[in-house]
Structure 1
């Protein structure tokens, strides 16, 4: 029992820990349910009683498994009880750990027009200038049905498009008429029906005026209420990142800089940008990542200027003087505010607090040789430093030596690494193809380190995780000024594509990744199709 000893200042409470264990097991489970998964895992090591209670309560086991897997619980109205969710979650993780699918590869045709998107388990393609075709990729484990639908007969030519299945949102960029130099119109439609989106403002159209009709749209990304579009016309040196609140139609931010190469939403208010070409710092030769607060000038009509308005920047490894040009492409899925559409009623989904950023560094040497490297960065590597310096002044600079060697992993890009089929990351996983001994492999690098930590804590050898935690060094004097060492740990696994006898090797162009599927891309003359492997 507890006793109280009086002091001159305030009572000193001495707690008898035995009281906790006198509670009925049902009440003790309710107390433990208030703990986060890390604390629950520690409680299992306190005593046999807590170990027995936690191991015997599906709700507590489920919370731990969610946290370790990097997942969040689905809606309560989903048709799954706690024990069923736990069993499905374990099965989902085991399938990805072994890359073992119990479903045959499903092949679908690739449309000829070449405009496509993959996001949130939906693969979309443009069939013609006014028609889009959609495939909802299934998952038996998470209870997602396969679905196909087509939206056609739009009354304008579709230049490009993006989507967010979580909000039933389709973003259509209308091709302007060059002869009359009209502004760009961005149409906000329901992904399921093609009708104007019901929660978008007034006419569900955003307007962007410009002085060029030759924009390309390297990135169209939605994160909650925010829609970001990168308009790029390098010939006219006109590159702009526009961020709207798509529900109100309000322009939140405009960043103008001819060297912007790519962007990604880092948090609900921060955008990460990468530039191509020379750095703004004269004493640093190499690429830099800029972080801006999109709400810094919201409502003022003032443009955001990278040279003066950035929140902070992260220097990348210094390049050799033999590099004459470079660019950085940022990819990360899903967006920070991602949640599956509630109608899917999934039992669990990829957590939003941590995502992998895949940065493709393309460089051209003096000899005109083209080289590519991949820098893999958990979002927390950046957000931790942003949060830690939140009270400091803007324009903070994080040098590579202070964040890169332990917080990232730099690798040489796989042979024939694609710059087209770039949806190769989801959550904390990165997928790519590898050819060895005339065999094509699909490889996964998984940067969720929690299963490893749990296995080490439990001293278990039950699961082969293929750990890669050694520091590696890339020595390329023609690319980097100094050797670049990185040590971020990851798990590695792969499968060899095994087709029935007589079909021959798969002419695989690339591999893409969604929450439940690997998507093989065969994009060669005479063979254009997608192969879906579902887990």
Structure 2
């Protein structure tokens, strides 16, 4: 008998067809009839495909585990993070007089005496990643800063020689010149001395922000590190922080006001208000350019700041990179997807009659900005989105604790954000609370639908609260912007109290770092004569 409908096909053939569908298409088919619903619910491949997407993960193509095993591991990982129940704890000593460190792709790296680098591969019992550590005893140059990308075995070392900046492209594991780098393995840039670095890597792109300590002049340089070609050279006092929004879009945090020239083209001119600029690297040229001459793709404006308001510091963070993939040697069953990420803007602001200092945190799901970018007609540039067009319902703006450190911006990973709250009158002493905010859009939609079906309960196993009520800046924080600011984007909030190991222990921690399989408590030299890192592994 010839099949007349989809459900008449043999199960084996139906499974092969569904394997090639996007999870959204699988869910649409599931809603067609009870037969397809039963097929999807009973097929481990389909359940894995759906749960992987809802968890914000992608499949590990190098893993040899069965789909059933991967699904079980995914459920273990999800439950562990829901309950903030780590499987192990390990303390490692911190290097004294260390000027810089990096956390990327499950690898923690720390510099010592500007010539030595220590690396730790963070473990995961759930995903089967083993602890590993290694050291490059002498990299051969004096390091001003460094960046890493474990997926490409890439180590980028910044060396300053007067006004010459040399970016050395090395292997993380051997310290030798990276085999994919241009001849010589060095990129060169001329700049003013006395500056700080921000180094980010996304596939073939290496982006470096150099900020002058004295004048606050900044330069953002983007190379194709495999060819050595300069793609962007942006210079301005208003260039403050950046991330890769996609593999070809850079998101820039800057000051500026939208202006229109004689031919109707929008520019971002000098100004005191905050904005996010999207730069398309496929449209840039290697010539030096200022922000007000930049051919940007689009801009997202924040509300107007009050006249009696001064931004002391601000930073934009997101991790991992949009196209990041773990090293094939790890053979992980699954890893975090770059499709949905959380962008976090942290602002330290003096405001009001007495110039009170407050810290604000702006949480922006990447889908908010990317959906706006995708709405642009082909070829259009210079589009400006007002705060009301994107920020009110597409983000969350909240007051942060004063101890939230801008100097250690590894508090965001994937769609999650972590911070620690100290209730004690003695700042930063045990016990304190770890909070994790999760802005995963698919998980939120599922939970909110479940909540409606169950008559208003959270529908999330009572181990995470859904914050769905609005946030309004009130009290003295209402003096930061000209108008009242209210935001609505929902999120999960999870919290756990961290006790001391025993009643006699009083340990100071001054930062909390977040990775895919770990929370890392930092006890630095500023608060501890014997600095160390406490790694909580999931």
Q: TM above 0.5, one fold? A: yes
- Counterpart among 371, 380, 386 of residue 393 in structure 1: 380
- Counterpart among 389, 401, 404 of residue 417 in structure 1: 404
Deviation at 1:457, TM superposition (A): 4.6
Residues of 2 paired with 1:467 and 1:284: CA distance? 37
State the secondary structure of the residue aligned to 2:320: coil
- Counterpart among 248, 268, 279 of residue 227 in structure 2: 248
- Counterpart among 190, 193, 202 of residue 213 in structure 1: 193
Residues of 1 paired with 2:214 and 2:376: CA distance? 38
Residue 43 (structure 1) aligned with residue 29 (structure 2): yes
Query: 2:113 maps to what in 1?
Result: 128
Residues of 1 paired with 2:258 and 2:312: CA distance? 10
* Worse-superposed segment, 318-327 or 467-476: 318-327
**CA-to-partner distance for each residue in 1:311-338, whole Å, 9 max, x for gaps?**
2211112111111345431000011121
Residues of 1 paired with 2:240 and 2:364: CA distance? 18
Deviation at 1:342, TM superposition (A): 1.1
Residues of 2 paired with 1:369 and 1:257: CA distance? 28
Deviation at 1:462, TM superposition (A): 6.2
Deviation at 1:25, TM superposition (A): 1.5
Query: 2:66 maps to what in 1?
Result: 81
Query: 1:12 maps to what in 2?
Result: none
Query: 2:265 maps to what in 1?
Result: none
Residues of 1 paired with 2:377 and 2:181: CA distance? 33
Query: 1:7 maps to what in 2?
Result: none
The 5 Å alignment of 1:75-474 reads 75=61, 77-103=62-88, 105-112=89-96, 113-176=98-161, 178=162, 181=163, 183-210=164-191, 212-217=192-197, 219-275=198-254, 285-298=272-285, 301-309=286-294, 310-365=296-351, 367-391=354-378, 393-436=380-423, 439-457=431-449, 459=453, 461=459, 463-464=461-462, 465-474=464-473
Deviation at 1:259, TM superposition (A): 1.8
Deviation at 1:508, TM superposition (A): 1.9
Residues of 2 paired with 1:282 and 1:321: CA distance? 18
8 Å CA contact retained: 1:423, 1:512: yes
Distance 1:59 1:512, change over 3 A: same
Distance 1:236 1:341, change over 3 A: same
What RMSD over aligned residues (CA atoms) do the two structures have, in Å?
Answer: 2.2
Query: 2:19 maps to what in 1?
Result: 33
**CA-to-partner distance for each residue in 1:102-152, whole Å, 9 max, x for gaps?**
22x211111122311111111111121210101110011111111000002
Deviation at 1:437, TM superposition (A): 5.3
User: Which consecutive residues of structure 2, in runs of 5 or more, have no partner in the other structure?
Assistant: 260-267, 426-430
Deviation at 1:277, TM superposition (A): 8.2
Distance 1:471 1:498, change over 3 A: same
Deviation at 1:278, TM superposition (A): 8.2
8 Å CA contact retained: 1:284, 1:318: no
Residues of 1 paired with 2:320 and 2:270: CA distance? 35
Figure out how many residues of one structure are paired with residues of the other and give that number: 511
Distance 1:19 1:324, change over 3 A: closer
Deviation at 1:390, TM superposition (A): 3.9
**CA-to-partner distance for each residue in 1:4-34, whole Å, 9 max, x for gaps?**
xxxxxxxxxxxx9x62222121112222223
* Bigger Rg, structure 1 or 2: 1
State the secondary structure of the residue aligned to 1:343: helix
Deviation at 1:364, TM superposition (A): 2.1
State the secondary structure of the residue aligned to 1:286: strand
8 Å CA contact retained: 1:275, 1:289: yes
Residues of 2 paired with 1:55 and 1:396: CA distance? 44
8 Å CA contact retained: 1:375, 1:408: yes
Residues of 2 paired with 1:263 and 1:304: CA distance? 16
Distance 1:31 1:278, change over 3 A: closer
**CA-to-partner distance for each residue in 1:446-473, whole Å, 9 max, x for gaps?**
0013224334556464622411111111
Q: Could you state the TM-score of these two structures normalised by the residue count of structure 1?
A: 0.91
Residues of 2 paired with 1:455 and 1:381: CA distance? 19
Distance 1:478 1:462, change over 3 A: closer
Residues of 2 paired with 1:126 and 1:283: CA distance? 38
The 5 Å alignment of 1:511-522 reads 511-522=512-523
Distance 1:527 1:153, change over 3 A: closer
**CA-to-partner distance for each residue in 1:422-467, whole Å, 9 max, x for gaps?**
1000000000001235630110000013224334556464622411
User: Which consecutive residues of structure 1, in runs of 5 or more, have no partner in the other structure?
Assistant: 3-15
8 Å CA contact retained: 2:245, 2:251: yes
**CA-to-partner distance for each residue in 1:239-298, whole Å, 9 max, x for gaps?**
100000001111111001122111111112111111258888789752111121223233
